[in-house]
Chains A and B, each alone.
Chain A
Amino acid sequence: MAKRDYSMLGPDARRAVETGLAAAEWYHTDVPRKEMKALMQRSDGPAIRDTIILFGAMILFAGVGIALWPSWWSAPFWLAYGVLFGSAMDSRWHECGHGTAFKTRHYNDWMYQIASFCMIRNPVTWRWSHTRHHTDTIIVGRDPEIVFMRPPELARIFANFFGIFDTINGVRRMLLNAAGKIHPEEATWIPETEQPKVIRVARIWLAVYLAVIGLALWMGSILPLMVIGLPRLYGAWHHVLTGLMQHGGLAENVIDHRLNSRTVYLNPISRFIYWNMNYHVEHHMFPMVPYHRLPDLHAAIKHDLPAPNRSFLDAYREMWPAIKRQLLNEDYFLKRELPPTAKPYREDFHVEALGQPAE
């Protein structure tokens, strides 16, 4: 098989369009309309509760961190604050980007702007990139959010546990956009009418960062950056830990989320931070279902999905050997068994797209 080209402008991108993989009709488990309507219903309550807890905890941890600064006793509080800033904001960015977390649109929009800032993801650019991730999930050359490219770039992925490359990219793009330019790849998925908004947001953010850096210089301390900016690095690990499980080691170029996404049962703290995105097959199949109903959706359709992984450890035990094999064999992927109650995978289509799966 030819080497993969993950760029949005390369031969794989063209091939995906030619073969009908791009913008294809995806598999969905049958759910009666009445049941699905109930699952899709929006409410403000759960997200308001979670947001109060989130911001309350952030203020508390940062406050104690500042009070104890520069003693090492402040470290655990910064670590806790960092995870909320650099990881919980990832899932808030995600859910509010879909517009499903709150019922009230403005609440979603406000939270989306705050979370985008924390994650250094331009809210306009990334809204469109995530749209593409849902249209063409893990389709090579079409999905701009593929983390585990083949062969996997492990050094880069490990560095991202500390947000290194994500932050460098985020800052670079912010500077490019603030200079009035759009990256050519981004231009493939952001409509022209939206592009001025990308630039406006980048300029506002740059002003905020310059103010924080100015304050740090004036104080002669990195403390202001411990509150804004650096937590994107020292708090990123949890969102990377959860994010890698979403699609790692699974199939590319298929149109059935059961083949390319993973559901994992997690502890309640991680589920709070991750806003239930551990139900990832369910989220991709039915992105209209808000995060707080995903456990119910899971219960309704699990008969049609591969068995979920039981924990972080279980997921990584499954994923890691596959990732290692992909270092040597780019065509290798995990194809998980479906329960007897499930509708089978569409082998005809997928064998053509993938070659023979390696089991």
Chain B
Amino acid sequence: MAQWIDACSTDDIEEEDLIRFDHAGRTFAIYHSPDGDFFCTDGLCTHEHVHLEDGLVMEYEIECPKHNATFDYRTGEAMRAPACVNLNTYKTKVEGGRVWIEV
């Protein structure tokens, strides 16, 4: 059953950036968008499962550090080859300066 997890502080992620968050044997990427919202996706690229944590956030896209595939991190949509499969996304909420994700 889905549950809310306290993932990080809002200050832990710069705007237009991401961090890695590991929980219960799974790995996620949490993003801070340019307009101050937070989003969460699976941490591994759907192409060859490289972690997105070293990737580049440009506006609402994350670019994978290995072969430059891009995803819209709000919807998980694969925007650019070589990724052809979308990322899973997870709900987020901010409470008391903390970012929570529903996994």
User: In the bound complex, what is the Cα–Cα distance between A128 and B83 (angstroms)?
Assistant: 11
Complex partner residue of A134 from B54, B55, B56, B66, CB under 8 angstroms: B66
**Majority SS of interface residues in chain A?**
helix
Chain B residues whose CB sits within 8 angstroms of the CB of A103 once the complex forms? 58
Given A127-B82, A131-B82, A287-B68: A40 in contact with B56 (beta carbons within 8 A): yes
Q: Is B63 an interface position by the 8 A CB rule?
A: yes
Chain B residues whose CB sits within 8 angstroms of the CB of A42 once the complex forms? 56, 58
Residues from 134 to 192 in A contacting B, C-beta threshold 8 Å: 134-135, 191
Given A287-B66, A288-B68: A36 in contact with B80 (beta carbons within 8 A): no
The interface size bin for chain B is 10 to 19
Give the Cβ gap from B14 to chain A, nearest Cβ, in Å. Answer: 8
B82 lies within 8 A of A37 (CB): no
User: In the bound complex, what is the Cα–Cα distance between A41 and B57 (angstroms)?
Assistant: 9
Chain A residues whose CB sits within 8 angstroms of the CB of B65 once the complex forms? 286-288
Q: For residue A103, which residue of chain B has the nearest CB?
A: B58
B66 lies within 8 A of A135 (CB): yes
Complex partner residue of A287 from B17, B48, B67, B84, CB under 8 angstroms: B67
**Majority SS of interface residues in chain B?**
loop
User: In the bound complex, what is the Cα–Cα distance between A193 and B78 (angstroms)?
Assistant: 14
Given A191-B84, A194-B81, A288-B63: A100 in contact with B68 (beta carbons within 8 A): yes
Chain A residues whose CB sits within 8 angstroms of the CB of B48 once the complex forms? 23, 135
Residues from 279 to 312 in A contacting B, C-beta threshold 8 Å: 286-288
Q: Is A98 an interface position by the 8 A CB rule?
A: yes
User: In the bound complex, what is the Cα–Cα distance between A35 and B66 (angstroms)?
Assistant: 18
Give the Cβ gap from A299 to chain B, nearest Cβ, in Å. Answer: 20
User: In the bound complex, what is the Cα–Cα distance between A194 and B54 (angstroms)?
Assistant: 27
CB-defined interface of B29-72 with A at 8 Å, one 1/0 digit per residue?
Answer: 00000000000000000011000001110100001011110100
Q: Is A248 an interface position by the 8 A CB rule?
A: no
Chain A residues whose CB sits within 8 angstroms of the CB of B58 once the complex forms? 42, 103
User: In the bound complex, what is the Cα–Cα distance between A53 and B65 (angstroms)?
Assistant: 30
Q: For residue B70, which residue of chain A has the nearest CB?
A: A99
CB-defined interface of A189-205 with B at 8 Å, one 1/0 digit per residue?
Answer: 00101100000000000
Q: Is A15 an interface position by the 8 A CB rule?
A: no
Complex partner residue of A37 from B17, B68, B70, CB under 8 angstroms: B17
User: In the bound complex, what is the Cα–Cα distance between A287 and B65 (angstroms)?
Assistant: 7
Q: Show the binding face of B for A, using Cβ within 8 Å.
A: 17, 47-48, 54-56, 58, 63, 65-68, 70, 80-82, 84
Q: A134-B67, A194-B84 given. 5 additional CB < 8 A pairs? A: A99-B70, A99-B80, A128-B81, A134-B66, A288-B63
A-B contact pairs, 20 of them (CB 8 A): A23-B48, A33-B54, A36-B54, A37-B17, A37-B56, A41-B56, A103-B58, A105-B80, A127-B81, A128-B82, A131-B67, A131-B82, A134-B66, A134-B67, A135-B67, A287-B66, A287-B67, A287-B68, A288-B63, A288-B68
